[in-house]
Amino acid sequence: MKYANKKILIISHNPLSRVNNNGKTLVSIFEGVPEKNIYQIYLNTDIPDYSKDSHYLQINEKQIIRSILKMKNFCCNEVEATLGLVSSATIKERNFANHTKRLLRECVWKVALWKSGLKSWLSNKQFDVVFFVAGDGMFAYDVYRFVMQNVSAKSCMFFTDDYIIGKTSYSPAACLRRMLLKRKIRKTLPSVNDLYVISDEMQKAYCKLFGVDSYVIRNFSVEKKETDAEIQSDIQSECLTMVYAGGLHYNRWKVLKQIAKSLKEINDSEKRKCFLKVYSSQNLSNKIVEAINLDGASEFCGSLSASQIAEIYAGADILLHVESFDSNAIASTKYSFSTKIPEYLSAGKCVLAVGPAEVASIRYLSDFACVIHDDTHLTSALKKMILDDDYRNSVQNACTVHYEADFSRAKQKECMEHILSI
């Protein structure tokens, strides 16, 4: 590879991972770069799940507070990857208290204890590219700016989600955070060589908002395998398997509940049946688990490792993606592009999506997958997919074509080389 010797420093909230969404996105982008040439500064308490040959520096507010209490001017830890992790996160609702806590969190990071440790780690290291994944923490922009003051390298910034346009709360704390974050972004943009975004919709919105051009990086996936996954669905099967794998926040679980009810209705009246299996690494309340579990129609099956996910996809007839119809959820996900989409398409299966047309992931799938925009017609649309084998197989073939066009190894290599050549 032309850029095999280039060294890249990634600054992000999440560590590199083969399981967690943002971590998976980063792994997919830089797949092919020698692992020893990848360095990362990440800003939470998780442990990387990528490669023991890569280099990781962890900084988080817990370490900063601990340093303050112990009166130590050092709060950065070098960590080693632990492979095969299955992480779990709890579904959290955004509210006034949450935004207030986030502002207090920013105050903790203003204490400059992390700078000495970071400067020490950066010393005698040379990088060709600094790849900054811009999140919704203003402290991350301060870390990026400090890094660029201490290294000589080209830099680029990547937005994997929208944190400033979509308004899910109008509380004073939330409005203040959005205003301050927007100001941080405007101050940071002139210092980067390239700007990357996650969807076409975000590209248009951010060009209008900030007056800058950007490049779209969609999530990539594993290379498509020429296996039995490409064989048409078994029309003799009396019960099809539908699989959903991913996060259930933003009230996605409510859509799954509706789908389960529709499947129950179909299964009670038709010879051909379909059973929904839901997988997620998030810690769910009993309320949500009970809502998903519907006898004869659906079941929550827990979490999966990265290797298990591929096996589950291979055994499915239909892969399901959902987005919530709630107005707040639409505002939060409007410009996002789900990591599961390239994973689904790489499996060579029929993809079904249920969600509002305003969301970028749903809009993308509308061109070729089976997409249901109106939950009031859910049962009839599901019935067509379950009973009409020709229709289901035509969708499956279209999904395979779009995978090759948008997420192939050649596309991933093209994207990576664009980043490394700035």
Across 22-36, 93-107, 275-289, least confident range: 93-107
pLDDT at residue 71 is higher than 80: no
What pLDDT, in 10s, does the model give residues 395-422?
Answer: 999 999 999 889 888 888 889 889 988 7
Across all residues in the chain, what is the average pLDDT? 89
Task: Give the pLDDT confidence score for residue 339 in this predicted structure.
Answer: 86
- Overall average pLDDT of the 87-93 stretch: 54
Which tokens hold the place of 267? 């299964």
All structural domains of the chain, each given as residue ranges with its CATH number in brackets, are 8-220+409-420 (3.40.50.11930), 228-406 (3.40.50.2000)
Q: Answer yes or no: is pLDDT of 306 > 50.
A: yes
CA-to-CA dists, residue 41 to 80, 124, 143, 420, angstroms: 12, 16, 9, 18
- Please report the pLDDT score of residue 410 as a whole number: 85
State whether the Cα torsion 182-184-185-187 is positive or negative: positive
pLDDT given for residue 204 in this prediction: 95
Which of 187-196, 237-246, 305-314 is predicted least confidently? 305-314
Sort strands 318-322 and 298-300 into parallel, antiparallel or unpaired. unpaired
Higher-pLDDT residue of 383 and 163 is 383
Residue 91 has pLDDT above 70, yes or no: no
Taking alpha carbons only, the member of 274, 271, 258, 267 closest to residue 324 is: 258
Token pair of 51 as six digits: 């490669």
- Paired residues of 86 in beta bridges: none
**pLDDT band at 97; cut points 50, 70, 90:** low
What pLDDT sits at residue 226?
47
SS percent in the chain: helix, strand, coil, step 5: 45, 15, 35
Residue with tokens 């789900």, as numbered in its chain: 338
Which residue from 309, 310, 405, 394 is spatially nearest to 350, judged by alpha carbons?
394
- Cβ atoms of 248 and 300 within 8 Å: the answer is no
User: Tens digit of pLDDT for each residue in 165-224?
Assistant: 876 677 888 888 889 999 999 999 999 999 999 999 999 999 999 999 999 998 786 555
